[in-house]
Amino acid sequence: MVTMMDVSREAGVSSATVSRVLTGSAGVEPATKKLVLAAVAKLGYRPNLVARGLRRQVSQVIALIITDIENPFYTAVCRGVEDSARLAGYSVILCNADRDIEKEREYLRVVEDQNASGVIISPASARKTDISNLIDRGLPVIAVDMALAAATGSVLVDNRDAGALATEYLVGKRCKRIACITGPAENSTAQDRLDGYSRAIAAAGLPVDPDLIIYANYLEDGGYHAAKDLLDLPYRPDGLFVTNNRMTVGVLRALQERGVIIPDEINVIGFDELPWALQLHPHLSLVRQPAYRIGQEAARLLIDCLAGREPSPHMVLEAELVARDGI
Amino acid sequence: MVTMMDVSREAGVSSATVSRVLTGSAGVEPATKKLVLAAVAKLGYRPNLVARGLRRQVSQVIALIITDIENPFYTAVCRGVEDSARLAGYSVILCNADRDIEKEREYLRVVEDQNASGVIISPASARKTDISNLIDRGLPVIAVDMALAAATGSVLVDNRDAGALATEYLVGKRCKRIACITGPAENSTAQDRLDGYSRAIAAAGLPVDPDLIIYANYLEDGGYHAAKDLLDLPYRPDGLFVTNNRMTVGVLRALQERGVIIPDEINVIGFDELPWALQLHPHLSLVRQPAYRIGQEAARLLIDCLAGREPSPHMVLEAELVARDGI
DNA sequence: TTGTAGGCGTTATCAC
DNA sequence: GTGATAACGCCTACAA
């Protein structure tokens, strides 16, 4: 390994001067600078990030803690974070917390021990996720996907509005019995989307029927069983809002098994991207969060915080309606 | 932050002794040890991993460089790596190289600068991916998904056998004109799967028709256009082997647009998991690599190498045929 | 403008 | 068995 000492010897200056050149501090004679840079190039020197991290007390690493790496929404967020961080010279540690509050807690500890510069997190729970240690240490934490009271900043969509947007689409399709399959009751994001649904139902003058609201687990099987239950009702719904992408897969399977055709017998609107769905299911509409951009902006916000910028780092992005009324 | 010095003062011993207790070195009086552990617990001390990394010259971090984070195969590998690494007390830096040799190179540099303990990589190219720097520095590198001559170890399936397995399935379905859509010509894994196809075609006594072999880009649009081309042939194929999952999505779309029914008009076998496909396309068969296990084993192998174990860390796993002859 | 020196928190090598 | 002490590679007062 080639160290700063080697460079300084090669250039005939002290290591302090090398450091100054490399960190871009002012006050180095241009000639000296040239000398140093030549030595750096000649020896192929690259700073040891671990030593730098120890000295500066922060690494150039940001941690990204996500909820579900098998969910395309979160992978898109990842890409956004990664691309944005990379441009700014940061590395990303990715941690998949798996909707598991324990695993998440453990990762938050690791992040602290590794002296990450900051954290981007899609919390497992708005209430239980505890970032106080990080905040106390002065580490910036940006929440995505779910609001977190203690967070330094956040990049979110208004999930109530998004839920209302989805529901209004179904209202516009003249649906009279609109059902909603949402996530776990303790999940605030799921609750918000459901609130939006309720608001839109009320605004349309439709009756709110508790039978038409089902809480499920945000996974395929949850969507599947919920859809089956809805299809078994004495009066079937003619519209269905599913509040996440993986449940939408289960819903499609249930409909397929029962031979129920979209949009003839029921209109369906999902939430968040399923990369293949738009290709293979031309009648499935959806409300889509700008996942990649959420990641990008979160990283940008975090890096701004690290640089001491950004007074109010809270950002609300718009969810988009992808209406697909047939080919 | 509470340091080892704080602990040593609390316990009334030197920091060297604290270190010995914490690293489990032999030769510490049980009574002293108890004292130290009590102090650690009381102060909530946790070692600074950065300082340890600097001193020991290796971190407890392994880097995972993957080809495509939006491909469910790789995300499953990720989970395997992560779960396995976590159990052994390692953190994972995830890097998404995006099939881009430049991006991959850059990540390999970052990994070196961060003093990762080792690397697991699904190479962008068997020829161009250059890990010699890491190997020279003594860092173990485990290749997955694609063989890499210089790698310390590897976890792979035999892609020729897997390709043959897929093709034999179609032969068994009495297909007479079997096509293959494979990945980029310079991709050795794609080439291997194609070789397996050719071998099986020959073994079945079927003619090898160059029109039935298409090289595409491993992405949805590539599969889509390739399938269209095949459907436009004067004599349509009655069997189709698609060598990766994302292209399979494109193929399904093309078939759907043309109204071609599986398995009545054509039998299709894909490669690698599409989490939703098994649910929504009951007639789509596939050959599946044990993605999660590949990740697990790769991490295990790497950690064994780091511990100085594992004389020949090359592992070949079996791909599995998921035959779906209808409900 | 440049050099010297001390320390970030840990571990390893000596003595004792 | 335990305690000083010197690194690991870098950055930053402070001095020159």
pLDDT tens column, A288-305 = 999 999 999 999 999 999
Does the pLDDT at position A309 exceed 90? no
A59 CA, C9 C1': separation in Å?
15
Strand C contact set, beta carbon < 7 A: A 12-17, 20, 27-29, 31-33, 51, 54-55, 57; B 1, 3-5, 15-16, 19, 22-23, 25, 45, 47-48, 51-52, 54-56
Q: Which residues contact B82 (CB under 8 A, 6 or more apart)?
A: A95, A96, B64, B92, B295, B299
Asked if B253 is an interface residue toward chain A (Cβ–Cβ < 8 A), one would say yes
Asked if A96 is an interface residue toward chain B (Cβ–Cβ < 8 A), one would say yes
Give the pLDDT confidence score for residue A91 in this predicted structure. 87
pLDDT confidence band for A278 (50 / 70 / 90):
confident
pLDDT tens column, B144-193 = 999 999 999 999 999 999 999 999 999 999 999 999 999 999 999 999 99
Asked if B280 is an interface residue toward chain A (Cβ–Cβ < 8 A), one would say yes
A138 CA, D5 C1': separation in Å?
33
B24 CA, C11 C1': separation in Å?
12
Tokens, residue B181: 């859509």
Residue A204 C-alpha, separation from nearest chain B C-alpha, in angstroms: 34
Query: Residue B52 in 3-state DSSP?
Result: helix
pLDDT confidence band for B327 (50 / 70 / 90):
very low
Does the pLDDT at position A266 exceed 80? yes
Residue A252 C-alpha, separation from nearest chain B C-alpha, in angstroms: 7
pLDDT tens column, B237-247 = 999 999 999 99
pLDDT tens column, A57-69 = 888 889 999 999 9
Nucleotides of C under 7 A from a protein CB: 1-5, 7-13
A322 CA, C11 C1': separation in Å?
58
Instruction: Tell me the sheet residues that pair with A263.
Output: none
Separation between Cα atoms, residue A245 and residue B35, nearest integer Å: 53
Mean pLDDT, all residues of chain B: 93
Q: Which nucleotide is nearest to B55 (CA to C1')?
A: D8
Q: Which residues contact B180 (CB under 8 A, 6 or more apart)?
A: B167, B194, B197, B212, B213, B214, B240, B241, B242, B243
Q: Residue holding tokens 């194929």?
A: B237
- Helix ranges restricted to H, chain B: 4-11, 15-23, 30-43, 49-56, 72-87, 101-113, 132-136, 159-172, 188-203, 220-231, 245-258, 277-280, 291-306
pLDDT confidence band for B277 (50 / 70 / 90):
confident
Tokens, residue A116: 């990450």
Give the pLDDT confidence score for residue A308 in this predicted structure. 81
Asked if A256 is an interface residue toward chain B (Cβ–Cβ < 8 A), one would say yes
A159 — phi, psi (to 5°)?
Answer: -70, -25
Separation between Cα atoms, residue A46 and residue A40, nearest integer Å: 8
Does the pLDDT at position A327 exceed 50? no
Give the pLDDT confidence score for residue A326 in this predicted structure. 52
Spatial strand order in the sheet of A141-144: A91-96, A61-66, A118-121, A141-144, A153-157, A314-317
Does the pLDDT at position B288 exceed 90? yes
Q: Per-residue pLDDT averaged across B289-312, rounded?
A: 91
Count CB-CB contacts under 10 A for residue A50. Answer: 25
- Helix ranges restricted to H, B114-267: 132-136, 159-172, 188-203, 220-231, 245-258
Give the pLDDT confidence score for residue A171 in this predicted structure. 97
DSSP A129: -
Q: Per-residue pLDDT averaged across B98-120, rounded?
A: 91
pLDDT tens column, A114-154 = 889 999 999 999 999 999 999 988 899 999 999 999 999 99
Nucleotides of D under 7 A from a protein CB: 1-5, 7-13
Residue A207 C-alpha, separation from nearest chain B C-alpha, in angstroms: 33
Q: Per-residue pLDDT averaged across A193-221, rounded?
A: 96
The answer to whether B279 and A253 are in contact (CB under 8 A) is yes
Count CB-CB contacts under 10 A for residue A199. Answer: 16
**Nucleotide C2, nearest residue via CA and C1':** A17
Give the pLDDT confidence score for residue A317 in this predicted structure. 97
* Amino acid at position B211, single letter: D
CA nearest neighbour of B197 among B218, B227, B166, B234: B166
pLDDT confidence band for A46 (50 / 70 / 90):
very high
Dump the DSSP string for A181-248.
Answer: EE--TT-HHHHHHHHHHHHHHHHTTPPP-GGGEEE--SSHHHHHHHHHHHHTSSS--SEEEESSHHHH
Tokens, residue A37: 């840079």
Asked if A249 is an interface residue toward chain B (Cβ–Cβ < 8 A), one would say yes
Q: Is the CB of B32 under 7 A from strand D?
A: yes
Q: Is the CB of B20 under 7 A from strand D?
A: yes
Does the pLDDT at position B137 exceed 90? no
Give the pLDDT confidence score for residue A71 in this predicted structure. 92
Separation between Cα atoms, residue A135 and residue A306, nearest integer Å: 13
A225 CA, C1 C1': separation in Å?
74
Tokens, residue A314: 């809270």
| Contact criterion met (CB < 8 Å) for A249 and B280 | yes
Separation between Cα atoms, residue A285 and residue B57, nearest integer Å: 53
Domains and CATH numbers, chain B: 4-47 (1.10.260.40), 55-157+291-318 (3.40.50.2300), 159-288 (3.40.50.2300)
* Amino acid at position B323, single letter: A
Query: Residue B316 in 3-state DSSP?
Result: strand
Separation between Cα atoms, residue B324 and residue B327, nearest integer Å: 8
Q: Per-residue pLDDT averaged across B55-80, rounded?
A: 92
Does the pLDDT at position A164 exceed 50? yes
